[in-house]
Amino acid sequence: MKIFFDVDYTILGLDDTLRPNTLETLEQLKQDKHEIYIWSGMGERWEVVEKHQLTPLVSGVYEKPTHHFHERLEELGVPFEPDFVIDDYPEVVSAFGGVWVPPYFFKRSFDEEMNRIYRIVNDFVHTGTSEDRQYRAKGTIVPLF
Ligand SMILES: [Mg+2]
């Protein structure tokens, strides 16, 4: 699948650290033959990708639409629709389908979200859905909790 990860508060904290296990999870997803894309409402964040050594793992870096999600892909130069998105902003996740993650702010010793994301991706690959409450099917408009 073409999996799109948001930057701020999804993989990157306010303190400029990566969420724990981001690198390992992206490596595993790539090994599983997924294509990893990084996008952000703040533009093409190559500086983050390069600083945190994600460049060999990603197939593209784009600006993310923050409204009219499908309609604006072409305008922003995103050449295809994401198959699955990971984001702390629930509307994006509902628009394309994927995983909502609680915002990551600061480096801390316990954060299992990346493992959870990996499990949900695999649920989706094997069954087309996931029982995890952080999974959202494409087009859903449901409150998270
Ligand atoms: Mg974000």
Q: Tens of pLDDT along 42-78? A: 999 999 999 999 999 999 999 999 999 999 999 999 9
Supply the CATH number for residue 96's domain.
3.40.50.1000
> Which residue segment(s) compose the domain that 98 sits in?
2-136
In a domain, 59, yes or no: yes
Q: What are residue 63's DSSP bridge partners?
A: 40
In a domain, 104, yes or no: yes
In a domain, 142, yes or no: no
Cut 0.75: pTM above it: yes
CA of 86 to the centre of ligand 1 (A): 9
In a domain, 119, yes or no: yes
pLDDT number for residue 143: 59
Enumerate residue ranges in the chain where pLDDT < 70.
Answer: 109, 142-145
Sheet of 135-136, strands arranged across: 58-63, 35-40, 2-6, 84-87, 98-100, 135-136
In a domain, 17, yes or no: yes
Question: Is 138 within 8 Å of 99 (Cβ atoms)?
Answer: no
The count of structural domains within the chain is 1
CA of 29 to the centre of ligand 1 (A): 20
In a domain, 145, yes or no: no
pLDDT number for residue 65: 97
Please count the helices (runs of H) and the strands (runs of E) in the chain. 4, 6
What residues have their beta carbon closer than 5 A to ion ligand 1? 6, 8-10, 88
In a domain, 143, yes or no: no
In a domain, 141, yes or no: no
CA of 40 to the centre of ligand 1 (A): 7
CA of 49 to the centre of ligand 1 (A): 15
